[in-house]
Every structure is written in structure tokens, then in C-alpha cells.
């Protein structure tokens, strides 16, 4: 592919995103899990127009999401990632693009670049968290997406850090508690709490075997958090600007048990092999929640401002790193 063709593919990439989002919303990959099906059969199953569904399928065959043979369509290895019941499913991520408010915010990226302002809030007059709280359907999809993305890294994070010397852990902003479950499963002596806003937080673990060591608390991490030996903050700080991050970390510092640790799990800028993912995630933070991805040094500065000290950074067998902070 020559340079202009490459550039054209980049410029029109939003079309692929839109097509994938519709396929995810319709549940096409789930429908194809049992084997090849015709467009007519699929259209009837998902409630779509046969002709336009065939046009959508043609486009997704062209980019390798589905395969077509003798008029029947099937999942490829790529398309299987949009199935609901696969580990790390990307169906919830694709479905988040069904929210018109998110699409519109990305159209304001130029405003953010010119002014430094958050695109979503500049366009809509309120932040993305307020929007999701007022849109239960989109909030549910967002929660599913956070759970799916966490499930793809949770085991790697639990394996990369030694929790054996700790007794209690709180998953701050932990939503459905996927990361907490992985840690409690790996360390049977630990007790844990998932902590998040009331419309987000899980009320019980998915595994009944963890119920005796599991608790759930609703609240705001800007106000107070339950005391613990360790705090897990996965993909939390990147949602917020620096001053708000310091507030969150100070709340943790105030409740941290003596000798405890704050474990920030994030996609860190400057780590080899994650350059593209991190750079575009950084733009996503600018457009939607108003935060940013950060370098190791930038996280260290946040810790210092909150009365903590960066002790070490651990790589995991995933896209995420663990930044361990202790009381300064």
C-alpha cells in the first residue's frame, strides 16, 4: 500500500468503527457462533433489512471480520472477538460507539487541541460521568466494557504483584470487581472490598466461593475510602486531570493502613510495544472524561503531591503496568 492509500485508510477509519459497532449491537458474531448462516437468515434473526445487512457484511468481510462462502457468512478469528461469551470480548467496547454523544464529542477533538478543554463537556455542557448516570442503557454498556477490558488483564496483574504480605485490599473504582476477584482467587488469605459509586458497584462476586472474603461499599473516592493494606486503582487516574488525581490519592493516603501500598494499574506512556495504543488512549481521555495517559515520571509527581512516593514499576504480561506507591 502506498503512502496516500495508507493515509486514506487512516482518514476513513471511522467507517470501520461504525460498521463494527453496528455488528456488535446486532450481535452478529453471537449469531454466527454456531456456524455459517446466510444474510437472509441473519436478517431475520437480528431484525435487520436483508439488503442493507448484506452490504454491512460485505464491508466486514473485506476487512477480515467475517468470511463468506457460497452466500453464507461465518466468523473469522477477528470476528469471534465480538462474541459476548469470549474472554476479553470487545463487543461491549464496540457497542459504546452506539452512544451519539460519544461520536459527537470526538468531532470536537480540534476544539480540545486548540483550547485544552475537555471535548465532551465543552460540547454537551456536562461531563461524561453525568451523562452516563442519566443514560442507564449506555451506562450498562460502559460497565460491561470496563469488566471485559479488566478481565483481559486481571490475571496478569494478580500474577505480577506479590500480595502475600498483605491482609486486606480495596479495589478503588472497581465497578464489577473483576480485578479484585482475580487477586482474591490468587491469594486465599486476603479479604477484599470493591468500592465504587452506587449505580456502578457490584453487590456480590461472580464466584460464590469468594463471598466470605468479599464486601462491597458504595461511595466517592473524592470523599473517603475504606481502610486497607493495599489500594488497587486500575484505569482510574487516567480519567482525571492532575489536580483531581491528587485528591483521589490523598483520600487513599489518609485511610491507608501503616506499611500499606497504593497500586496504580495503568497503561504508561513510553513503555515499549504500547506506543500506538497509549497515544490514542491519551486522546480518548482528552475527548471523553478529560484526563490523560501519563509517563512514569508524571505519575511519580502525582504521588509526591499526595504524600506518597513511587517505589517501583512492575511490568505485567499485558498492556498494563503496576506503579507501587508507599507513604513518603
Please list the active-site residues: 238
Which residues lie closer than 8 Å to 120 by C-beta, 6 or more apart? Answer: 101, 102, 105, 108, 127, 128, 131, 287, 288, 289, 290
Strand partners, 313: 323
Contact at 8 Å (CB) between 182 and 159? no
Which residues lie closer than 8 Å to 253 by C-beta, 6 or more apart? Answer: 262, 306, 307, 308, 327
Which residues lie closer than 8 Å to 244 by C-beta, 6 or more apart? Answer: 222
Strand partners, 218: 196
Of 173, 178, 226, whose CA–CA distance to 199 is shortest?
173
3-state secondary structure of 217: strand
* 105-141 as b/e: b if 16+ CB within 10 A: bbebeebbeeeeebbbbebbeeebbebbbeeeebbeb
3-state secondary structure of 191: strand
Strands 256-266 and 228-234: parallel
- Note the residue count of the chain: 328
161-163-167 Cα angle (round to 5): 160
What DSSP element (H or E) covers 172? Answer: strand 168-172
Helix, strand, coil in percent for the chain, rounding step 5: 50, 20, 35
Amino acid at each position: 500500500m502506498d503512502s496516500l492509500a495508507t493515509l486514506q485508510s487512516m482518514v476513513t477509519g471511522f467507517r470501520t468503527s461504525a460498521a463494527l459497532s453496528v455488528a456488535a449491537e446486532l450481535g452478529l458474531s453471537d449469531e454466527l457462533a454456531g456456524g455459517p448462516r446466510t444474510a437472509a437468515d441473519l436478517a431475520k434473526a437480528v431484525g435487520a433489512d436483508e439488503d442493507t445487512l448484506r452490504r454491512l457484511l460485505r464491508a466486514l468481510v473485506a476487512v477480515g471480520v467475517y468470511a463468506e462462502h457460497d452466500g453464507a457468512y461465518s466468523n473469522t478469528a477477528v470476528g469471534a472477538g465480538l462474541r459476548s461469551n469470549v474472554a476479553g470480548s470487545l463487543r461491549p467496547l464496540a457497542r459504546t460507539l452506539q452512544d451519539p454523544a460519544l461520536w459527537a464529542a470526538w468531532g470536537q477533538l480540534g476544539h480540545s487541541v486548540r483550547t485544552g478543554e475537555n471535548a465532551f463537556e465543552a460540547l454537551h455542557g456536562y461531563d461524561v460521568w453525568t451523562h452516563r448516570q442519566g443514560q442507564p442503557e449506555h451506562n450498562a454498556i460502559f460497565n460491561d466494557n470496563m469488566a471485559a477490558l479488566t478481565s483481559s488483564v486481571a490475571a496478569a496483574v494478580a500474577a505480577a504483584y506479590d500480595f502475600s504480605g498483605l491482609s486486606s485490599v480495596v479495589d478503588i473504582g472497581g465497578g464489577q470487581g473483576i480485578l479484585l476477584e482475580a487477586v482474591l482467587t490468587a491469594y486465599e488469605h486476603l479479604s477484599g472490598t470493591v468500592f465504587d459509586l452506587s449505580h456502578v458497584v457490584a453487590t456480590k462476586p461472580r464466584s460464590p466461593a469468594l463471598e466470605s472474603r468479599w464486601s462491597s461499599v458504595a461511595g466517592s473516592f473524592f470523599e473517603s475510602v475504606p481502610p486497607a493494606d493495599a489500594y488497587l486503582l486500575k484505569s482510574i487516574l487516567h480519567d482525571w486531570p492532575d489536580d483531581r488525581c491528587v485528591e483521589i490519592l490523598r483520600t487513599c493516603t489518609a485511610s491507608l493502613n501503616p506499611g500499606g501500598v497504593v497500586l496504580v494499574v495503568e497503561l504508561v506512556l513510553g513503555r515499549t510495544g504500547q506506543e500506538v495504543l497509549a497515544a490514542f488512549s491519551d486522546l480518548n481521555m482528552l475527548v471523553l472524561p478529560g484526563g490523560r495517559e501519563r509517563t512514569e515520571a508524571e505519575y511519580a509527581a502525582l504521588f509526591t503531591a499526595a504524600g506518597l512516593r513511587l517505589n517501583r514499576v512492575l511490568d505485567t504480561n499485558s498492556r498494563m503496568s503496576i506503579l507501587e506507591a508507599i507513604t513518603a
